[in-house]
Amino acid sequence: MSSQLNVDTIVDKAGSGGTNVKVANTSTYVGDGGSGTQNTVQSLVKCWFLDNEGGSSLNTFNVASNTDNSTGNYTKGFTNNFSNENFSAPPACAQNTSTFVINSSRATSSVTTVNIKHDNSAIDGRQACNICGDLA
């Protein structure tokens, strides 16, 4: 027999409005319009960052370190490692004058990024990246 819980709000025991809900890796949610289900944990972005020109971080999630390797070349060390280096880190736009690409250097503990202009020269430009995959 299955059961169903119908509520409008979940709060902590103290009633302060906050809550700490734990969700297992097998949890699913119903897609928009009820079209299907998706694994909740696998569909989350596991790491992201927004860097200023020169590689200084403006904001990050799951980034423990930032190493400046050379002009436009940075290595981000993860706070929580990925289970393997086959995570998704698609190229993303940086500035109008540059393109953000993922270097071939991927590891479970880090990713290296390179900002390259249209003429293939490196540039210190603003960059952003969302990384998806399974955490270790």
- Count of residues making up the chain: 136
Closest CA to 67 of 80, 59, 76, 58: 76
Pairing state of beta strands 37-39 and 47-51? unpaired
Structure confidence at residue 100 (pLDDT): 63
Task: Report the number of distinct structural domains present in the chain.
Answer: 1
Full residue range of the structural domain in which residue 57 is found: 47-131
119-132 per-position pLDDT tens digit: 888 888 788 888 88
Residue 20 lies in a domain: no
The amino acid at 33: G
Whether 21 is in a domain gets the answer no
pLDDT of 62 reads 96
pLDDT exceeds cutoff 90 at 9: no
pTM of the complete model beyond 0.85: no
Considering the domain boundaries, does residue 13 fall inside one? Answer: no
117 falls within a domain: yes
- What would the two tokens of residue 97 be? 């004058």
Q: Which two tokens stand for residue 47?
A: 């790491």
Tokens of 134: 């399974």
Given this model, what pLDDT does residue 61 score? 94
pLDDT tens per residue, range 57-108: 899 999 999 999 998 888 999 999 999 999 888 766 555 555 666 666 889 9
The span from the CA of 63 to the CA of 73, in Å, is 16
